[in-house]
Amino acid sequence: MRSNIPLIARYTYSRYDPGFVSRAKSMGTSVIIGGENYGQGSSREHAAISPMFLGVKAVIAKSIARIHRNNLVNHGVVPLLFVASTDYDSISLEDKIEIEAWPEQIKSRSVSVENLTNGTTFRVKLEGSDEEIEILLCGGLLNYIKKHPRN
């Protein structure tokens, strides 16, 4: 099962949210909202590649564990942090979240997020190097390497 990503993805967050996989598949593109130290203990690549496989484009959290954050970047999942951690409490399961002008906002490292369900807007930030921003804009490390081959 270790290299079978579709099979691994069937169990993504199944212990904590049995409906996650079916919701993610039905949405096609989604965002995960996380609390403090999101991804702690999930430093393996599968913890980032499974959500990516299911269409997760970003994680918005109060804080993200360092190694997991690096794996998210490598798999093209944008790791975003709430500017005001209290905004976390304004989001409910299945709220519709929208981020317009995605590439431009990612480049600026400051992103405006609209919660279409409750009509609120909040700010998130992206912390990372210029190279990490480029990796994310390419859709992950493999695409980045294809675009920027090293001799």
The whole-number pLDDT of residue 59 equals 97
Residue 44, pLDDT score: 77
Tell me which amino acid residue 7 is: L
Q: Which residues pair with 59 in a beta bridge?
A: 32, 79
**66: Cα separation from own chain's centroid:** 14
pLDDT for the residue numbered 1: 59
pLDDT tens-digit readout, 24-59: 999 999 999 999 999 988 657 888 999 999 999 999
Domain with 100 in it: what CATH number?
3.20.19.10
Q: Which helix (H) or strand (E) holds 105?
A: helix 102-108
**C-beta atoms surrounding 72 within 10 Å:** 28
Give dist(CA 83, CA 94) in Å, integer. 21
Domains of the chain: total: 1
* Alpha carbon distance 71, 75 (integer Å): 6
Q: Which residues of 3-35 are buried (b: 16+ CB within 10 A; e: fewer)?
A: eeeeebbeebbeeeeeebbeebeeeeebbbbbe
Q: Which residues of the chain are modeled with pLDDT < 50?
A: none
> Structural domain of residue 98, as residue ranges?
5-147
* pLDDT value, residue 41: 81
pLDDT at 151: 63
State residue 43's pLDDT score: 58
Helices 66-74 and 46-53: crossing angle in degrees, nearest 10, is 40
Burial label for 116, CB within 10 Å (0-12, 13-18, 19+), is: exposed
Q: Which pLDDT does position 141 carry in this prediction?
A: 95
